[in-house]
Structure 1
Amino acid sequence: MSFSRQELADTIRSIPDYPKPGIIFRDITTLLGNPRAFRRAVDELVNPYVGMNVRKIAGMEARGFILGGAVAHQLSAGFVPIRKKGKLPHETVSIAYSLEYGVDEMEIHRDAVLPGEKVILVDDLIATGGTAVGAVQLLRQIGAEVVSACFVIDLPDLGGRAKLEALGVEVRTLVEFSGH
């Protein structure tokens, strides 16, 4: 028996006023700890791309590593970590980006993707889109063809999905939560 989208949403813990007052943090560790929910989420992220010859899955630190690794395994694709500046040991390319609570920098290994390789970006949540837009720009900078960006959670009131779509990136999400 599989989970409905609502049952999937019900496995996600909501933590009010974290990391600051007025924000509701959507915590997927409860989803990850539920074997049926985790399996359903990965299957839902994978299914549209079976047979599309996707070569790499890029995951953003840190929850994108968990989800992206599982998606990469299911698609028989490689996994590419996108990390905070200073965390990767080889030659990197970096980009500054805006996030919900400030500005940060992330990087990718310069040789992580071959020019023209099909890549899917995976993370747990799309909010304002700053991190995801930065990741797409970083992937394109090293020659990736970004096929899609996939997230478990969409916070549509914050507009991140629209920013990615404006870049010509297909966006897939599994559940939505209104508000912040």
Structure 2
Amino acid sequence: MIFDEFTIKTLIQRVPNFPKAGVTFRDITPLLQSPRALRMVADSFIQRYVEADFSHVGAVDARGFLIGSIIAYELNKPLILFRKEGKLPGEVLSEGYQTEYGQSQLQVQADSLCEGDKILIFDDLIATGGTLLAAAQLVRRMGASIYEAAAIIDLADLGGSQRLQDIGIATFTLTAFALDEY
């Protein structure tokens, strides 16, 4: 199936003032409800990474779980979950971060990765980069490295992808939106 960026972009809804005033939320629910679009998205990532040299797929809570789990399954890689505070059992590592909504904590099970592991970190979008930067810090604290940070959407005007690249983390997204687009 050929990737159609226009179709993907038109299925991502713009929701002004959600979850708080001044924030424009990009809702991928309509994309997930379209079997054709979901397949295009998943297949695009799978084709990109089918021969890539990484050992694990990391998925960021919660929308990153949706495509991240498909990628891990299709590429036969272990799936590592990066969750919001208080959602994981056992010993966890925590990292605070700033989002466009406020302060938050991201956690991962402390024994998820080992020195020498290399991980692809997946989320639904890159906005300010706070969540992915927190995940990267957790990965590095376990002695592992980041292969790439990937997402469906880049909101480049918010600077997150640039922040990741500035600290040496390659990024890849299928599409990008300007703040006022759509």
Mapped to 2, the partners of 1:3 and 1:17 lie a distance apart of 30
Mapped to 2, the partners of 1:89 and 1:44 lie a distance apart of 33
Structure 2: give runs of 5+ residues left out of the alignment. none
Q: Give 1:116's aligned residue.
A: 116
Q: Give 2:167's aligned residue.
A: 167
CA RMSD of aligned residues (A): 1.3
Q: Does the aligned pair in 2 maintain the 1:3–1:36 contact within 8 Å?
A: no
Please report how far the alpha carbon of residue 46 of structure 1 lies from its aligned counterpart in structure 2 after TM superposition: 2.2
Q: Give 1:79's aligned residue.
A: 79
Percent pairwise identity = 39
Q: Give 1:99's aligned residue.
A: 99
Structure 1: give runs of 5+ residues left out of the alignment. none
Mapped to 2, the partners of 1:170 and 1:132 lie a distance apart of 12
Q: Tell me the amino acid that sits aligned with residue 61 of structure 2.
A: E
Q: Does the aligned pair in 1 maintain the 2:154–2:175 contact within 8 Å?
A: yes
Q: Is it true that 1:56 corresponds to 2:56 in the alignment?
A: yes
Runs of 4+ in 1 over 3 A off after TM superposition: none
Please report how far the alpha carbon of residue 89 of structure 1 lies from its aligned counterpart in structure 2 after TM superposition: 0.5
Q: Tell me the amino acid that sits aligned with residue 114 of structure 1.
A: C
Larger CA deviation: 119-128 vs 52-61: 52-61
Please report how far the alpha carbon of residue 3 of structure 1 lies from its aligned counterpart in structure 2 after TM superposition: 4.0
Q: Is it true that 1:35 corresponds to 2:16 in the alignment?
A: no
Q: Give 1:145's aligned residue.
A: 145
Q: Tell me the amino acid that sits aligned with residue 121 of structure 1.
A: I
TM-score by length of 2: 0.94
Q: Does the aligned pair in 1 maintain the 2:3–2:41 contact within 8 Å?
A: no
Mapped to 1, the partners of 2:130 and 2:99 lie a distance apart of 5
Mapped to 1, the partners of 2:166 and 2:64 lie a distance apart of 22
Q: Is it true that 1:132 corresponds to 2:142 in the alignment?
A: no
TM-score by length of 1: 0.95
Mapped to 1, the partners of 2:21 and 2:92 lie a distance apart of 36
- Aligned residue-pair number: 180
Please report how far the alpha carbon of residue 30 of structure 1 lies from its aligned counterpart in structure 2 after TM superposition: 0.8
Q: Tell me the amino acid that sits aligned with residue 33 of structure 1.
A: Q
Q: Secondary structure at the match of 1:119?
A: strand
Q: Give 1:21's aligned residue.
A: 21
Mapped to 1, the partners of 2:49 and 2:174 lie a distance apart of 15
Mapped to 1, the partners of 2:3 and 2:174 lie a distance apart of 12
Larger CA deviation: 6-15 vs 42-51: 42-51
Q: Tell me the amino acid that sits aligned with residue 117 of structure 1.
A: D
Mapped to 1, the partners of 2:119 and 2:100 lie a distance apart of 25
Mapped to 2, the partners of 1:81 and 1:175 lie a distance apart of 24
Q: Tell me the amino acid that sits aligned with residue 86 of structure 1.
A: G
